[in-house]
Amino acid sequence: MSDPNSLSDLADEIERLVRAYSARAHAANGPAGADPEPFEPGKTPVPYASRVFTGNEVAAAVRTTLDFWLTLGPQGDAFEKELAAAIGVKRSILTNSGSSANLLAVSSLTSSKLPTERRLRPGDEVITCASGFPTTAAPIVQNGAVPVFIDSNPVTGNADCSKIEEAYAPGRTKAVVLAHALGNPFDLASVVKFCRANDLWLIEDNCDALGSLYTMPGKAPHLTGTFGDLSTQSFYPAHHITTGEGGAVNITRDMRFKVILESFRDWGRDCWCASGHENTCGKRFGWQLGELPEGYDHKYTYSHLGYNLKPLDIQAAIGREQLKRLQGFVEARRRNWERLRAGLAHLSDFLEFMEATPGSVPSWFGFMLLVRDGAPFTAVELSRHLDAHKIGNRRLFGGNLVRQPAFVQLRSDNPNALRVVGNLEGADRLMRSALFVGVYPGLTPEMLDYVIWVIGDFCIKPARKRPKTS
């Protein structure tokens, strides 16, 4: 330390120590190959996902903690801008999770600041997909609207978009909310066309798909998350970049959503001052709004029934570092997916593999396979076998959501609380037969080859030699 009295020298010294600590304590968390410990098949876990970071993220978190601004502030402003630029949207609004981002995006459609005929009102319908993550669909119910579940295509893992016309109820349908399953874009060409033709809002749940590309016929490729009116991200550790908990809503075109989203996110307030600022509008005590007394403090004027869904500035500082790694992460995920696909190809009598949607280049969240109906084992047996070999594996989240206890209860309490189109046999097949293993950037070729070997050995081993499962 050159000057013990200088705060910036003290901070530099702390950062130096933090980096030295992190280099030793977190050696295994760096990109693939950074772990000094050798990989021991069957002993070293092969997670389906994990955080990948170095001292840069830890130093950014500590530096921001030293500033002790805490709530969303300068780091948040910078991360929102950098994220929006990286995705190619007009604006990103940070939240404390992907689920909060979905809640915020759907809630924003109820705003009285939108044209009356486009507003989402209680009893209106929103088309969504039967299979996937529960908090893609839950915000529809949480906002008093009715989710209309269409079936899934088990091979892409996505909504079967040929069912969308059948789900449409003129006058009642107000929006479509769909996720890009495991990073695989849904059929954006047909969904965007359908939404435009019928004046419906489109929300892309892009939580699993940061970096995925989709090409509209006759156009250049664009990142998913730029096609709908709004899109959402998650920064939970399993996702492409992480801030621990965290997420964002992206605004693609219509900047009316900025004030609406920030209002719902920040307690429902009408005031649009950034955290720590006041009187941005220049008439904090000069408004006469609705039934409020003249001059009532604009800071305490509420135009929406809002929430508080903000993350911390520290999370944004971590996110800024993670964003610098995004391109490398996306490439590693694609490479890892291809290695698994090639290595497992000979097992196609037993397994069916997820296929990229035509026109897309996915930034894969995981490698999904389906156990064929005639195979001499079930997906549960394969999951148990992988588990026993320390290979992380997951189901396609909630499978057929309509079968989940929360949605069964919802329907039993009120049969009109949701609507189902068709027999959902695709979603049922995903629930019965699909599982996925990891492709995240911390996985090495050795680990992936071990996964291939374990799955191959399980499939080909005569049934009598397979471990008994109950």
- Show which residues are catalytic: 239
Find the binder of ligand PLP among 151, 205, 266, 428 (CB under 6 A). 205
Does 204 help bind ligand PLP (rule: CB under 6 A)? no
CA dist 393 and 438 (Å) reads 7
Does 352 help bind ligand PLP (rule: CB under 6 A)? no
Name the nearest CA neighbour of 253 among 222, 279, 284.
222
Contact between 70 and 275 (Cβ < 8 Å):
no
Q: Footprint of ligand PLP on residues 376-415 (CB under 6 A)?
A: 397
Least distance to ligand PLP from the beta carbon of 99, Å?
3
Our CB check for ligand PLP shows the closer of 235 and 450 to be: 235
Least distance to ligand PLP from the beta carbon of 360, Å?
16
Only one of the segments 75-83, 202-210, 297-305, 433-441 lies at the binding site for ligand PLP (rule: CB under 6 A); that segment is 202-210
Does 135 help bind ligand PLP (rule: CB under 6 A)? yes
Q: Please give the sequence-ordered ranges of beta strands (E in DSSP) within 200-301, or none if there are none.
A: 201-205, 213-215, 221-223, 230-234, 247-251
Find the binder of ligand PLP among 156, 224, 234, 433 (CB under 6 A). 234
Our CB check for ligand PLP shows the closer of 105 and 448 to be: 105
Contact between 250 and 233 (Cβ < 8 Å):
yes
Residue 445's contacts (CB-CB under 8 Å, 6 or more residues apart) are: 32, 339
The amino acid sitting at 132 is: G
Contact between 401 and 149 (Cβ < 8 Å):
yes
Least distance to ligand PLP from the beta carbon of 1, Å?
40
What's the gap between Cα 13 and its chain centre? 37
Per-residue contact flags (x/-) with ligand PLP for residues 147 to 186, judged by CB under 6 A: --------------------------------x-------
Our CB check for ligand PLP shows the closer of 57 and 205 to be: 205
Q: Footprint of ligand PLP on residues 264-283 (CB under 6 A)?
A: none
| 373: exposed, middle or buried (Cβ count in 10 Å: 0-12, 13-18, 19+) | exposed
Our CB check for ligand PLP shows the closer of 396 and 424 to be: 396
Find the binder of ligand PLP among 154, 247, 311, 366 (CB under 6 A). 247
Least distance to ligand PLP from the beta carbon of 374, Å?
30
Our CB check for ligand PLP shows the closer of 177 and 391 to be: 177
Least distance to ligand PLP from the beta carbon of 230, Å?
13
Only one of the segments 127-135, 157-165, 211-219, 461-469 lies at the binding site for ligand PLP (rule: CB under 6 A); that segment is 127-135
Per-residue contact flags (x/-) with ligand PLP for residues 329 to 348, judged by CB under 6 A: --------------------
Residue 70's contacts (CB-CB under 8 Å, 6 or more residues apart) are: 312, 313, 314
| 12: exposed, middle or buried (Cβ count in 10 Å: 0-12, 13-18, 19+) | middle
Does 133 help bind ligand PLP (rule: CB under 6 A)? yes
Our CB check for ligand PLP shows the closer of 99 and 363 to be: 99
Angle of helix 445-460 relative to helix 379-388, nearest 10 degrees, comes to 130
CA dist 220 and 205 (Å) reads 22
Least distance to ligand PLP from the beta carbon of 142, Å?
14
Our CB check for ligand PLP shows the closer of 208 and 270 to be: 208
Does 207 help bind ligand PLP (rule: CB under 6 A)? yes
| 260: exposed, middle or buried (Cβ count in 10 Å: 0-12, 13-18, 19+) | buried
Outline where 109-249 has alpha helix (H): 134-142, 164-167, 188-197
Q: Do the bridges between strand 419-420 and strand 146-150 make them parallel or antiparallel, or are there none, so unpaired? A: parallel
Residue nearest to ligand PLP (CB): 98
Q: Footprint of ligand PLP on residues 78-117 (CB under 6 A)?
A: 97-99, 102
Contact between 99 and 247 (Cβ < 8 Å):
yes
CA dist 173 and 30 (Å) reads 46
Binding residues for ligand PLP, rule: CB under 6 A, are 97-99, 102, 132-133, 135-136, 179, 205, 207-208, 234, 236, 247, 397
